[in-house]
Structure 1
Amino acid sequence: MIDYTLLLAVFSGIAAILVLILFFRIHAFLALLIASILVGVIAGVEPLSIIKTMQNGMGGTLGFVAMVVGLGAIFGAILEQSGGAEALAKFLLSKFGEQRASWAMMITGFVVAIPVFFDVAFIILIPMVYALQRKTKKSLLLYALPLLTGLAITHAFIPPTPGPVAVADILGANLGWVIMMGFLAGIPAAIVGGPIFAKYIAKKIPLDAPKEVSNEKAEATFPPVGMIITIILVPILLIVANTLLNSSLVGDGSISEDVKSWIEMIGHPFSALIIANLLAWYFLGIKRGLTKETLLKISGKSMEPAGIIILLTGAGGVFKQMLVDTGAGEMLANYVAASGLPVIFFAFIAAALVRVLQGSSTVAMITAAGLISPLLGSGAAEIDKALIVIAIACGASTLSHVNDSGFWLVSNYLGMTEKQTFRSWTMMTLIISFVGFAAVLLLSVIFS
């Protein structure tokens, strides 16, 4: 049975988020908190209980997310400062050659965006794209779109990037499974949205790189590629190994409980990222001549964007907790169950709608996660929860347009008009969204 008061509270909360962000230009952090209070008031929650719920939602979410995002930010900043991203791009280009350069750029974006934020990684790597265009005289889009596809998919699909970490925490999903499902769904999306679509659209939109400027970093100063790949993979492999060794895939009794407990500690995202940071600090910093003071300054600077993401994620946790405590989440769960719409479809649609309306993929992911969290029963399988995280990521990746800062970043760096950006970048985000979601549905059938 539908409680129309609770239904009004839910829709009022979502409407408040959109109106405050779109029309009043209020930051999403504040908008989510205001919307949470509004939901509580309309649902008839006691005033002091509203405050208590906000406190619980913020604290419960940030206990995990703040650690992972903070550690990931420091790790990415040291990698960026070392020139590791550029070294990896040059290495892949040398191995793939000019004919398959678009595939090299896709793989570069896919790997580099694991530790480095999307916009930072794009700005670091765009000179590689310019250099390729000047050499081959083909459209800039042939190389830029595969790079952007790899960056966008990893940014939304694969922890320890902030979006999937936040959603996984809100839904109670295991990060190891999210990483595995994110890779499996992301690979076909990257291939179709990257090299395949880029080859088609590059013929329609010829673009040249801007005039060449000198590169301040000499290639000889780049760190070894093997070291870069190893350091990036260490936290991912530790987290995935922990997930597999503590799952039903490993037979009972094959590994002692003491060994499992140590693996569980070392493979926990906290420990894995601390280990990765120490490796980066020494091998990419101290051993390559950076002073301790410089590394401290790099680490401190990395906290600025991380702080915004952490607070925004915490506000999303508040919104989720308000839906749970008011009973609105349970009502939505019953309604979705009665309608026959699978939760995974609802997750994709909710994230896509918020993304298209307000622009930010992170806000879309967190808002959708807050709506979906109460719909998952305590008996939901880990793989199912991981796939729902990726379904939300797919929805939140779709149709980037004029209300998304990424739209203008790409437009300006590639020298495109708004129309050209719609035909290339916006269509690319639509492709990776739907191909990724199709892959999620296929995976749900395979693992069901």
Structure 2
Amino acid sequence: MTPLLASGLTAAAIVVLMLLIGIVRLNPFVTLFIVSIGLALVTGMPTEQAISSFENGMGHVLGHVAGVVALGTMLGKILAETGGADQIALTISRIAGKKRLPWAMMVIGLLVGLPVFFEVGFVLLIPLAIILSRRNDLPLPALAFPMAAALSVTHAMVPPHPATLLAITAYHANTAYTLFWGIVIGTPIAAIAGPIYAWYIAPRIGSLAPTALEDQFTTQAKHEKLPSFVLSCATLLMPVVLMLGGALAELIWPATALPYRIMHFLGNTDVALLVATLMSFWLMGSLSGLSRETILRFSNDCLAPTATIMLLIGAGGGFGRELIDSGLSHSITNLALGAHVPLLVLAWVLALLVRIATGSATVATTTASGIVGPILATSHSVSPELLVLVTGAGSVGLSLMNDAGFWQMKEYLGMNLSQTLRSWTMIETIIAVLGLLICLPLSWVIH
């Protein structure tokens, strides 16, 4: 198969994805399944191989992600139910003062967004944004936009989010380096897309009427006594600390040393989240007065919403595997190498296209990294850590009507479609564009 034909088929598959999801309104998982199998059959793969390829790709991805999603959701649920997330937000806000509240909300989003998905973090923190806007007589978008922008940045660019970890695996990147550069690059991006753009756009989208949700959050007290700020932060940041410890052990001890084996084991993503979740059951749950039955109910109930997330992640992995097994990825690799397309640009564009098609940043990162990973393996022309970040940045651009976050922002803030497009869609696009513009010049000095 010629490289041009392979590129045309891949582009056609992405266009079909966009049409079926955006216009026909077909379920994204069903669409990815259909398009993946159809693409494999068009390239000449036998039917049995086409199906097994999709299943293998889906299983491989979920093998890495399912545990992370489940444990991260449990951790976020316990933080929400015990008031730990509220304590973090209120303490930082009290320290910051009214004038710096938008910046405080950005910091809160960066912290709380570390172990949870965007949708989970948004649900945890939007009541705080509503309460603080009422108490300080500030427009809700001025606080909600910085918080949401920070959540989106951590979701896209900072481990231990599953999509970022998958990109790290696909590009053979160093987790600690990716975490470091994700924070260094992501923080100014969150500042520009969050507080700075919120200062510009909040007065220009018009007044927003209070919603029923807003009235509920401001009339009902959820927690009588909050856990301490130190305890809440320690629980929240424990997975990151354990993973950094595992990376640090590689620099200090040889692989045969006992401290290395212990730290490296605890620094594994699944183990770090498991330890943090178990500690949250005890530190945040039992010590806050929750019974074992209540903790069990919370940890069971919170898993139901993750089913759709896992299915989409798995389907994205199946789509990426079809591209590889059918030879399309190899042909695109040859085309990209022959045309000297910068890998950073290629990864960013692919992630953005899949994001538009599926509405999922996680699927976009998974699919794009599956295509670009083999190219990086043959060229080694760019820092794998920067490639992870630029793929994540592209995966959040152009949040449209097929993105769950789009509707969360619209409904919780009481915006109409035009207001949401001018505010939230622009915030996500700013994050994507800045990620590419910052990583490109950095790639000239970092390899």
Q: Return the TM-score normalized by structure 2.
A: 0.90
* Between 170-179 and 416-425, the greater mean CA deviation after superposition: 170-179
* Between 37-46 and 162-171, the greater mean CA deviation after superposition: 162-171
How do 1:23-422 residues align onto structure 2 when only pairs under 5 Å count? 23-205=23-205, 207=207, 210=210, 212-213=215-216, 214-217=218-221, 220-246=224-250, 250=251, 257-377=257-377, 380=380, 384-422=383-421
8 Å Cα contact 1:351/1:392 also seen in 2 = yes
Deviation at 1:218, TM superposition (A): 5.5
Extract structure 1 runs of 4+ deviating beyond 6 A.
Answer: none
1:227-281 per-position Cα deviation (integer Å, ceiling 9, x unaligned) = 11111111112112322432xxx3786x863332222111111211111011101
SS in structure 1 of the partner of residue 160 of structure 2 = coil
SS in structure 1 of the partner of residue 100 of structure 2 = helix
Matches of 2:380 and 2:296, distance apart in 1: 43
* Between 155-164 and 79-88, the greater mean CA deviation after superposition: 155-164
Deviation at 1:100, TM superposition (A): 0.7
Deviation at 1:174, TM superposition (A): 4.3
Instruction: Report the equivalent of 2:444.
Output: 445
Matches of 1:4 and 1:52, distance apart in 2: 26
1:305–1:378 Cα change, 3 Å: farther
Matches of 1:62 and 1:422, distance apart in 2: 32
8 Å Cα contact 2:208/2:415 also seen in 1 = no
Question: Across the two proteins, how many residue pairs are aligned to each other?
Answer: 443
Matches of 1:59 and 1:405, distance apart in 2: 24
8 Å Cα contact 1:189/1:433 also seen in 2 = no
1:110-165 per-position Cα deviation (integer Å, ceiling 9, x unaligned) = 11122333233323322332333334434322212111111111122223333323
8 Å Cα contact 2:17/2:357 also seen in 1 = no
Matches of 1:387 and 1:412, distance apart in 2: 34
Q: Which runs of 5+ in 1 are unaligned?
A: none
1:303–1:168 Cα change, 3 Å: farther
Deviation at 1:418, TM superposition (A): 2.6
Q: Which amino acid aligns with 1:289?
A: G
8 Å Cα contact 1:61/1:170 also seen in 2 = no
Deviation at 1:404, TM superposition (A): 2.7
Matches of 2:394 and 2:132, distance apart in 1: 32
Q: Which amino acid aligns with 2:177?
A: W
Q: Which amino acid aligns with 2:371?
A: L
Matches of 2:268 and 2:439, distance apart in 1: 25
SS in structure 2 of the partner of residue 92 of structure 1 = helix
1:234–1:286 Cα change, 3 Å: same
Matches of 2:215 and 2:323, distance apart in 1: 53
8 Å Cα contact 2:68/2:269 also seen in 1 = yes
1:263-315 per-position Cα deviation (integer Å, ceiling 9, x unaligned) = 21111112111110111010111121111111111111122222322222222
SS in structure 2 of the partner of residue 160 of structure 1 = coil
1:201-247 per-position Cα deviation (integer Å, ceiling 9, x unaligned) = 2343454672755543355421111111111111112112322432x
Q: Which amino acid aligns with 1:445?
A: W
SS in structure 1 of the partner of residue 139 of structure 2 = coil
8 Å Cα contact 2:345/2:436 also seen in 1 = no
SS in structure 2 of the partner of residue 99 of structure 1 = coil
SS in structure 1 of the partner of residue 415 of structure 2 = coil
Matches of 2:421 and 2:16, distance apart in 1: 28
Q: Which amino acid aligns with 1:401?
A: L
Q: Return the TM-score normalized by structure 1.
A: 0.90
8 Å Cα contact 1:72/1:160 also seen in 2 = no
* Between 313-322 and 332-341, the greater mean CA deviation after superposition: 313-322
Matches of 1:173 and 1:369, distance apart in 2: 12
1:16–1:43 Cα change, 3 Å: same
Deviation at 1:414, TM superposition (A): 1.9
Matches of 2:288 and 2:429, distance apart in 1: 42
8 Å Cα contact 2:324/2:371 also seen in 1 = no
Matches of 2:336 and 2:298, distance apart in 1: 47
Q: Give the share of equivalent positions with the same residue, in percent.
A: 34
1:264–1:432 Cα change, 3 Å: same
Q: Which runs of 5+ in 2 are unaligned?
A: none
SS in structure 1 of the partner of residue 400 of structure 2 = coil
Matches of 1:258 and 1:23, distance apart in 2: 57
Deviation at 1:426, TM superposition (A): 2.0
Q: Which amino acid aligns with 1:159?
A: P
